Structure 1
């Protein structure tokens, strides 16, 4: 079935389905909330990495002592 040149609905991809909040104009607030959530996540990841790095030398030191005790 040939496409009609006057009916371009569906050409160029699908339309984004807007949530009820977006339809009522709360899209900007949601974007800001996502930014805050991303910042919190990055801070948590940074703290976890710092803790892991702090434990890594202690673990290596404990492993080294255990190896030296066996020798």
Structure 2
């Protein structure tokens, strides 16, 4: 028997293994979890930017609270 050079089984990557819940159509919970995680990340980034801007503004202003 000759070698099979036309055997394309497995070409194109592997399929994602679905959990039992995903197979039954309950996979939308994962999407919701990702959305919540993305929202938390955006909130954290916003807070960090506000703190950085406040710190930059505080260092840019000369201090006038010197005791003479």
Q: TM-score range by the shorter chain?
A: 0.5 to 0.7
SS of structure 2 residue aligned to 1:2: coil
1:26 maps to what in 2?
A: 26
* Bigger share in helix: 1
1:2 maps to what in 2?
A: 4
Instruction: Say yes or no: does 1:54 pair with 2:54.
Output: yes
Q: How many residues align?
A: 61
How far did 1:4 drift? Answer: 4.9
Instruction: Extract unaligned runs of 5+ from structure 1.
Output: 66-71
Alpha-carbon distance in 2 for matches of 1:21, 1:3: 38
TM-score, normalization by structure 1: 0.63
1:69 maps to what in 2?
A: none
How far did 1:35 drift? Answer: 0.9
Deviations 1:16-68 (A, max 9, x none): 1223432332211210221121012101111110111011111233xx55xxx
Alpha-carbon distance in 2 for matches of 1:9, 1:25: 28
